[in-house]
Chains A and B, each alone.
Chain A
Amino acid sequence: EAGVTQFPSHSVIEKGQTVTLRCDPISGHDNLYWYRRVMGKEIKFLLHFVKESKQDESGMPNNRFLAERTGGTYSTLKVQPAELEDSGVYFCASSSLGQGNSPLHFGNGTRLTVT
């Protein structure tokens, strides 16, 4: 089975520009999560989708971040306008519905650099 796929793998943009990250979860996985690791620090939760609905978006830093999952398949995370502190690695993860504390399947991440 194909794993979680993220695109692009790297993105370098200037402050004030817009960037959209994409995540394709494992087929059939209803849970989709976004995480971020900034500057070698801990990986932090951003938000959680169950199918197309936002279950928990408590980790979203501010309203410059917009996540969508139309149709309950792939998800996008848009940053507009980007700031320097948004630089980091953005991870997506997925799991089947009802797995509770079971481990997540992660993508390779998108490394975002804002200059």
Chain B
Amino acid sequence: GDSVTQMEGPVTLSEEAFLTINCTYTATGYPSLFWYVQYPGEGLQLLLKATKADDKGSNKGFEATYRKETTSFHLEKGSVQVSDSAVYFCALPPYNQGGKLIFGQGTELSVKP
């Protein structure tokens, strides 16, 4: 079945460091791909998405490119801030199952000043 695998955390970086959080997937067809973020004490928020191969989603300085050939959707940011500390989840909708989502296990990011 469809699945999502994320790199394990926690990840600890210094402010202004480069961030990569790896995400690979297995899916039937070519689903949309999402990154969600959960800031401390808050709910899940959509960070960015890509709807087809080679699309690049971007938001708040974060980027992720839909790579069909490597079945990946890695999240990157060139210079992280303390306010980026959160848990990040990669997700996709299973084939033909509407709004239902399959999530990765989440990667906790901690950015130190």
- With beta carbons under 8 angstroms apart, the residue of A40, A44, A103 that contacts B46 is A103
Q: Smallest Cβ distance from A13 to chain B, in angstroms?
A: 21
A100 touches B106 (CB 8 A): no
Which B residues lie within 8 Å of A35 (CB)? Answer: 101, 103
Chain A interface residue bracket vs B: 20 to 34
Contact between A91 and B105 (Cβ–Cβ < 8 Å)? no
Q: Which residue of B lies closest to A37 (CB)?
A: B106
Tell me if B105 and A56 are in contact (CB < 8 A).
Answer: no
Contact A95 B99 (CB under 8 A): yes
B14 interface residue per 8 A CB criterion? no
Docked pose: A33 CA to B51 CA in angstroms: 22
Which 5 residue pairs of A and B lie closest in terms of their CB atoms, listed nearest first? A106-B44, A108-B43, A43-B103, A42-B105, A103-B46
Asked if B99 contacts A101 (CB within 8 A), the reply is yes
A48–B100 touching, CB < 8 Å: yes
Which range holds the interface residue count of chain B? 20 to 34
* CB contacts between A and B, total, < 8 Å: 67
Given contacts A56-B97, A106-B44, A108-B41, contact A101 B32 (CB under 8 A): yes
Q: How many angstroms between the C-alpha atoms of A35 and B13 in the bound complex? A: 30
A44 and B106 contacting across the interface, CB-CB below 8 Å: no
Q: Give the A-binding residues of B (Cβ under 8 A).
A: 4, 31-32, 34, 36, 41-46, 49, 51, 89, 91, 93, 97-106
Given A40-B106, A42-B106, A103-B34, A48 and B99 contact (CB-CB distance below 8 Å): yes
A107 within 8 A of B: yes
- Chain B residues in 8 Å Cβ range of A41: 105-106
Q: List 21 A-B contacts (CB under 8 A).
A: A3-B43, A31-B98, A31-B99, A35-B103, A40-B106, A41-B105, A42-B89, A43-B89, A43-B101, A45-B101, A45-B102, A56-B100, A95-B99, A99-B98, A101-B93, A101-B99, A103-B34, A104-B46, A106-B45, A107-B43, A108-B43
